[in-house]
Amino acid sequence: MSITGILTAALLIGAIGLLTGLFLGVAAIKFKVQVDEKEEAVLAALPGNNCGGCGYPGCSGLAAAIAKGEAAVNACPVGGEAVGKVISGIMGVEAGESVHKVAFVHCKGDCSKTTLAYEYSGVEDCRVLPFVPGGGAKSCDYGCLGFGSCVKACPFDAIHVENGIAVVDKEKCRACGKCIEACPKKLISLVPYEAKHIVTCSSKDKGPVTMKACTTGCIGCGLCKKACPVDAITVVDFHAVIDQEKCIGCGACKEKCPKDAII
């Protein structure tokens, strides 16, 4: 090959490289995605669990909503008040007070307090049980099924099945709500970490029916309601409910409960 051919090839390759570089540079400017610095800072402050407990699709979704003013700065249940304060500093707003909450399983009917209507042999998944006779073998239609769908859903290893019922370790719980979604019986709710008294039963059956099914079920007698000095308890569908915002933790309800359904 002659020197002229070599120089021509080199110039051609150089020209192609130059044109490609110019094209990429123009494309980068034209199609540049504007990054919200606050959104990036908020995302960095979030714990990164991507649990969805905030109601948004992962931490990036929540960060975008907070940056746009569509979500509260303390909306992350996992990060809690500490993360809320950091994000409030980024956004330049007041975080406000947030209540530290944890999941609680409203069932105390373990293997020693309930009976089995029949021997179940099948898929050990709580979400399957509603489709079998009686909604499961347990004598109480409202009781924890004990197969641990909530355990599998928890990303923090904060819930385990003990003696036939799910129990939450509130020190590990981050209130993401995954266990609540997983429970087909809807027995789990978020309660204040500092809650003094909680009703441990979810039964809505009449007293005689509940007593046959579980030795510690709420029978809706209303003695706890009458004993409460601040009117923090209501009885609906034969089931007592404590308003945690009103409760002063005096313990009168627990003392009066004949079935030990309040802890």
Q: Tens digit of pLDDT for each residue in 61-116?
A: 888 988 888 888 888 888 888 888 898 898 888 877 778 899 999 999 998 999 88
Are 104 and 197 in contact by the 8 Å Cβ rule? The answer is no
Give the sign of the dihedral formed by CA 70, CA 76, CA 80, CA 84: negative
**Confidence at residue 21, expressed as pLDDT on a 0 to 100 scale:** 74
**Residue 57: pLDDT band by 50, 70, 90 thresholds?**
confident
**Confidence at residue 128, expressed as pLDDT on a 0 to 100 scale:** 86
pLDDT (tens digit, 9 = 90+) per residue, 180-219?
999 999 999 999 999 999 999 999 999 999 999 999 999 9
Give the sign of the dihedral formed by CA 67, CA 68, CA 74, CA 80: negative
Mean pLDDT of 234-259: 95
Phi first, then psi, for residue 44 (nearest 5°) are -65, -30
Q: How far apart are CA 39 and CA 73, in angstroms?
A: 12
Long-range pairs for 202-205 at CB < 8 Å and ≥24 separation? Answer: 202/106, 202/107, 202/142, 202/143, 202/239, 203/140, 203/141, 203/142, 203/143, 203/238, 203/239, 204/142, 204/237, 204/238, 204/239, 205/141, 205/142, 205/238
Are 138 and 194 in contact by the 8 Å Cβ rule? The answer is no
**Confidence at residue 51, expressed as pLDDT on a 0 to 100 scale:** 84
**Confidence at residue 263, expressed as pLDDT on a 0 to 100 scale:** 93
Mean pLDDT of 237-253: 95
Give the largest CA-CA distance in the chain: 107
**Confidence at residue 133, expressed as pLDDT on a 0 to 100 scale:** 78
**Confidence at residue 259, expressed as pLDDT on a 0 to 100 scale:** 95
Are 227 and 256 in contact by the 8 Å Cβ rule? The answer is yes
Give every CB contact of residue 180 below 8 A, 6+ residues apart in sequence: 103, 186, 188, 189, 190
pLDDT (tens digit, 9 = 90+) per residue, 17-26?
777 777 777 6
**Confidence at residue 1, expressed as pLDDT on a 0 to 100 scale:** 54
Give every CB contact of residue 214 below 8 A, 6+ residues apart in sequence: 108, 109, 113, 114, 139, 140, 143, 201, 203
SS3 242: strand
Are 213 and 140 in contact by the 8 Å Cβ rule? The answer is yes
pLDDT (tens digit, 9 = 90+) per residue, 10-54?
677 776 777 777 777 766 666 555 557 888 998 888 988 888 888
**Residue 150: pLDDT band by 50, 70, 90 thresholds?**
very high
Distances (CA, A) of 43 to 35, 87, 94: 12, 9, 18
**Confidence at residue 167, expressed as pLDDT on a 0 to 100 scale:** 97
Nearest to 203 by CA among 236, 235, 239, 234: 239
Are 202 and 106 in contact by the 8 Å Cβ rule? The answer is yes
**Confidence at residue 33, expressed as pLDDT on a 0 to 100 scale:** 54
Q: Token digits for 200? A: 């441990």
Q: How far apart are CA 115 and CA 199, in angstroms?
A: 21
Structural domains in the chain, sorted by start: 37-91 (1.10.15.40), 99-194 (3.30.70.20), 195-263 (3.30.70.20)
Answer whether residue 172 shows pLDDT above 70: yes
Nearest to 187 by CA among 163, 169, 204, 209: 204
